[in-house]
Amino acid sequence: MQHDRTKHIEVDRHFIKEKLDSGLICTPYVSSQDQIADILTKGLGSHNFEKIVSKLGMENTYSPA
């Protein structure tokens, strides 16, 4: 059963490598300061959190009474 899963991963890996080599897919470098996914995976300080929230175009809809 495990072989079937790894076989699909190998096929996908080769497919993606072909697309990268042909230039169809480009993966630019993103510095660690600009990693937007950090908002979902890390506890951030308020400055970094607000910076990423603004990059995503999110707004705070909570207004305290």
In the predicted model, what is the mean pLDDT of residues 9-32?
A: 88
- Is residue 9 over pLDDT 80? no
Closest CA to 48 of 59, 61, 60, 37: 37
| pTM, two decimal places | 0.48
DSSP 25: S
On the question of pLDDT at 1 being above 60, the answer is no
